[in-house]
Every structure is written in structure tokens, then in C-alpha cells.
Amino acid sequence: MQKIARLPDAVANRISAGEVVQRPSSVVKELVENAIDAGATRIVVAVKDAGKELVQVLDNGCGMGADDAHLCVERFATSKITSADDLERLDTLGFRGEALASIASVAHFELKTRRIDDEAGLLLRFEGGDLQEERPCPAEQGTSVSVRNLFYNVPARRKFLKTNATEFKHIYESVKAQVLAYPEIQWKMVSDDEQLFDFRSSDMHERLDFFYGEGFSESLVELREENDFLTLFGYVAKPGMLKRQKNDQLFYINRRVIQNRMLQQALQQAYGELLVERQVPFALLFLGLDTEKVDVNVHPAKLEVKFDDDRSVRNMFYPLLKRAVRLQDFSPDVGIGE
């Protein structure tokens, strides 16, 4: 005879952790998204041993009161939506309320948080999702989350982590994508006690040159286009400079990093015959569209989106991009494909 039993939360959390937390970079991404949603203007990301030993994200955002600090590691507990209707118009990066529950269930998790009017900060420490310690602590306004020994209680997962070089690359790429999307935020990153960057100004050229090489931003054209359906802002390769380009394409919908083949293909087509061989033009593109026209609730990692109408997004995106690319002057000495 079969008998169905509801799984205890601890088990459920660990199962969903399998989808939300694939590797250290997933932890970084979720914590950074929370910091952004908390309205932070300064975010510090620190990792040790490519995140296997420690991922720490510190922000100066709104912080949490004691009740929220306890609730935040509960499954499906969120301050970002309250009804199913809210899913239609998301203006936050998070909304599923399961990231911290998942992360806390497979790591040693420490939270320090303080709201602006609180007299002191509050520290909570969990192991495998269970509260171990709670006490007041000195803290600035904001939140600091430290995740140690990821997958300590899931040996199979721990074993499948890749080399530090590979895991670190995933982390770095994920942080880079956010640093480029939020120029108004100051970002600092530290790895194994070495400072990698500390951006204090909102200058995009400084950030682009840092990540892609000195003078790189000069090989880009900044574009700003819009029609009734979407806005498009960003940077793409100047057609005449393609040869000197780094291959990298970052797409965002409403400032959320996404992966989308349709947009990649439309970009490739907008350049058309300007591309030689297998050139992939650099692009950092921010699409803005009505939140009701896009569904981000496709997968727990929130990297995929579904458009209400794929074709019309493509049909709107393509001409804007094409116009921006074609409007570029070609100086004769940097001929196409030379």
C-alpha cells in the first residue's frame, strides 16, 4: 500500500536547493540580487577558495528587523510579492522566497543585519537550516550574509564542484554582469583577501575598460532607442572595430540578466554582412518592456524569460538595433573585415 507523507521543510529545502544553488556562483548571484532589491548603494562581495569556503555579500540596504531576519530563511517567505497578481508585474529581482532557505539548508549561514533606526544589529547563525545562535551585534545599516562550507552536508554535490579556477570564473562573470548593470551602485570585490576592484564612481567607461581592457569602451557605440513597445539602451561594437573586439554578449530585460537565443540571433542579423567569419559582436544591451509582457518565473535560477509574444519582441528589437548599428560611420581606414 502506498502512503503519502508531506516532506518536512528541511527536506523540501534541500531538494529545491538542488535547483537554486548549483554552485558557489549561484549563491553569489542570489545574495547580490537581494542586496540590490534592498536598495543598496554599496555592495561588497568577498569570496574565499572560489566560494567553496566562503561567500560573503555585504550591503548598505534597508536591513531587516528581528522577525524578518528569522523568516528570511523560511521557504517561500518573501517581502517582494504578496499575491499571484504581483507575479505579472515584478519590479524586483527576487520574488520566489526560496533562495535563502535553499542556501541555508546546505551551508553554514550567518546573517548580520540592522535597519537604520535599530539600536544594534542582530546576528543569526544557522547550520543546515537550523538556528544555532542569535545575539545582538555591532553593525552598520544594511545586511551581511556569510555562507561557509557550501554543500558540507551534501557530499555528492561538493564532490562535483569544479576547480577553483572554473568556479571562480562563474562567480566573476556573474558579479561582472551586475556591476555593468548597476552603475549607480558602488561595487567592491575581494577574493582570498585580494581586492579585485572597488568602483566608487558610476562611470560606465571606467567599468567597461576595467573588465575588457584599456580603451575598450572607445570601440563601442552607446545606443538609446525606443518605440511604443520597448526601450533599448546599451553598448555594442562599432562595426569598424569588430576585429579588435572581445566576444561577450550580455542581455538584460528590465535589468535582469537573461540568456535568450532569440535576442542573440537578432543581434547577429542586425550586423548582417558586417560580420566576417564567426565574429560575435560585443553587446551589453538593456531592454526595457512592460513587466506584464514578460514572464521571469520559468526556472528557479531566473535566467530564462518567456515573452508574451516572442515574434513581436524580435520584430521590435531588431529594427532598433539595426538602426543603431547602421548609423555608425565607417572611417575608410578601418574597413569592414580588413
CA-to-CA distance for 170 and 50, rounded, in angstroms?
9
Query: Measured from the CB of residue 286, what is the shortest distance to Mg ion in angstroms?
Result: 21
Residue 208 touching ligand ADP (CB under 6 A): no
Minimum CB distance to ligand ADP, residue 60 (Å)? 10
Residue 253: which of Mg ion, ligand ADP, none does it interact with, CB under 5 to 8 A by kind? none
**Site membership for Mg ion, residue 283 (CB under 5 A):** no
Q: Measured from the CB of residue 38, what is the shortest distance to Mg ion in angstroms?
A: 10
Task: Select 185 or 242, whichever has its Cβ closest to ligand ADP.
Answer: 185
Stretch binding Mg ion (CB under 5 A), from 99-107, 195-203, 264-272, 294-302: 99-107
Site for ligand ADP in 120-159 (CB under 6 A): 143
Site string for Mg ion, 30-49 (x = CB under 5 A): ----x---------------
Could you say whether residue 101 binds Mg ion (CB under 5 A)?
no
Q: According to the binding rule CB under 6 A, does residue 99 interact with ligand ADP?
A: yes
CA–CA dist 163, 77 (Å, integer): 34
- Would you count residue 99 as binding Mg ion (CB under 5 A)? yes
Question: Minimum Å distance from CB 91 to ligand ADP?
Answer: 13
By C-alpha distance, which of 41, 34, 26 is closest to 73? 34
Of 53-82, binders to ligand ADP (CB under 6 A) are: 59, 61-64, 68, 72, 77-80
Q: Is the CB of 30 or the CB of 167 nearer to ligand ADP?
A: 30
In the complex, least distance from residue 121 CB atom to ligand ADP, rounded to whole angstroms: 12
Which does residue 250 bind out of ligand ADP, Mg ion, none, counting CB within 5 to 8 angstroms by kind?
A: none
Q: Does 90 bind Mg ion (CB under 5 A)?
A: no
Interface with Mg ion in residues 134-173 (CB under 5 A): none
Q: 191 Cβ partners below 8 Å, 6+ apart?
A: 46, 47, 48, 50, 168
Cα–Cα dist 244/142, whole Å: 42
Nearest CA to 144 among 45, 49, 221? 45
Choose the contact partner of 95 out of ligand ADP, Mg ion, none; CB within 5 to 8 A by kind. ligand ADP
Taking the least distance from each CB to ligand ADP, the nearer of 100 and 270 is 100
Give one word for 306, left, alpha or beta, with left for phi > 0 and alpha for psi -120 to 50. Answer: beta
Report the site for Mg ion in 177-216 (rule: CB under 5 A): none
Binding positions for Mg ion, rule: CB under 5 A: 34, 94, 99
Binding positions for ligand ADP, rule: CB under 6 A: 30, 34-35, 38, 59, 61-64, 68, 72, 77-80, 94-101, 143
